Amino acid sequence: MAEFTSTRNILEAADAHRAVVNGLAPDGGLYVPASIPSLPISDVLSLSYTETAKRVLSLMLPSFSYEDIAKSAEEAYLYHFETEQVAPLVKNADAYALELFHGETCAFKDVALSILPRLLTRAKKAIGMTDDILILTATSGDTGSAAMNGFKDVNGTGIIVFYPKDGVSEIQQRQMTAMTGNNLTACAVYGNFDDCQGAVKRMFKSLMPPDGIRLSSANSINIARLAPQITYYYTAYKTLVNDYHMELGKEVDFIVPTGNFGDILAGYYAKKMGLPVGKLICASNANRVLTDFIATGVYDRRRDFHKTISPSMDILISSNLERLLFHAENGDCEIVKRHMEKLSETGMYKVSESALINIQSEFMGYTFTDEDTKDEIKKVFSETGYLIDPHTAVGFRAKDQYLSQNPGRCAVVLSTASPFKFASSVMSALSLNTDGDAFEKIARLSDFAHTAPPKAIDKLRNAKILHTDETSIEKMPEYVYGKAAKLCRA
């Protein structure tokens, strides 16, 4: 029996090893579990983060041996995070913040991208693959540095990260362009994130790399990027029960600031595995394509693209939504394929009434402007002394609105990045002086908030810029072909 099938063709089947190595299915679809496993919360209440990850991933990636899963989880989570809990849950006024920014690049992407390279190399060995693997990744800010950090100096792999020129924060860019490692590079692209992501997807279908090299992905289109994120929904719930004395079995609502839909989709899978999740609330910035979709069932990217102070969510084409479409359309691959073809050809599609009912039974959406985001940063800090970044602030704003309409619910906001990655925007929200370079701002913000910046950001201060390449959308394939062999065989 197949472990994974393509969202666009159920006959495009793969076991977990091949799904991880391939990244995308051959037909351009995304791999989805042939059946979603069960994991009662009672089974993990006494487990650490690492042990919980082992349970989740053993179920989600069944062809991996337990030994390979266990080694991968231990190598990822025992050594690469500033806190033993990996993703601590912090009480804040009427809700909780799930802090996902304690990894080496200070954003939630570290949780999955610290383990993905380990799973990929073990999958490659398990199927006897001798080809080198070139990772192609588009980033709206955080995935790039986390992927480069995860894959740096991993034998038999190379990685190229494309990011929109002038479309990420100063610290996000510094994290990528100063990243050491012989097998990696970051390249600025003249365009926005959707342009970068679209070009990468096209290369997976059409680019023939040099002999002995295969393409794969570190974006959340790869099931081994998505599956590890399920773990922190379980550990958040576990902490609510064990540390905050919540009644076991009570529903918890999760508010997720998201643009590419992977982070919130992990919560959907956690719910389908048996975690007592109530609503999954999508918090959007001015690029509100997801919020509009949840409200209407119409996905329409034919709209203005907004550059906001929460740049990791500046996305109009949300790749992981295709997986939700598959489930909402009850596994009908032909319908999903038609939706994706229509999106490519016309820029929009509309789901069936039954699919919209399915989606709205699980999800809600809210959208906010930059001014709303700044107001929330200021409000949360003035009321609680808790410093949040502009993405988390969108989530907190959605939490405020949701709880005002649904009082008494237990709500968890996913805090997706350190505020020090976006010091200028946070300081502007707090009416602080934003003169000086990124590190001068970070120092002033730290002094003002009496909060130390992450060690990983402080280390960037004297880091040398190593990656200065720029290219156009049209020349991305040429760039990849020219870099492939050098990076994979560094």
| Catalytic positions | 109
Tell me, what amino acid is at 88? P
The radius of gyration computed from the CA coordinates of the chain, to the nearest angstrom, equals: 21
Alpha-carbon dihedral sign for residues 234, 237, 239, 242? negative
Angle, alpha carbons 487-489-490 (nearest 5°): 65
Tell me, what amino acid is at 11? L
Cα 392 off chain centre by: 14
For residues 17, 147, 310, 450, the Cα torsion angle rounded to the nearest 10 degrees is 120
Q: Name the residue with tokens 């929200």.
A: 429
In 293-352, the DSSP E strands lie at: 298-300, 348-350
Per the CB < 8 A criterion, the answer to whether 127 and 105 are in contact is no
Per the CB < 8 A criterion, the answer to whether 176 and 141 are in contact is no
Edge-to-edge strands, sheet with 184-189: 213-217, 132-138, 157-164, 184-189, 469-471
Q: What distance in Å separates the CA atoms of residue 175 and residue 264, rounded to the nearest whole number?
A: 25
Per the CB < 8 A criterion, the answer to whether 25 and 9 are in contact is yes
Kindly report each contact of residues 268-272 with a partner whose C-beta sits within 8 Å and lies 24 or more positions away, as own/partner: 268/324, 268/327, 268/362, 268/363, 269/33, 269/36, 269/60, 269/226, 269/227, 269/230, 270/230, 270/233, 270/234, 271/362, 272/36
Per the CB < 8 A criterion, the answer to whether 285 and 370 are in contact is yes
Tell me, what amino acid is at 298? V
Q: What distance in Å separates the CA atoms of residue 158 and residue 152, rounded to the nearest whole number?
A: 8
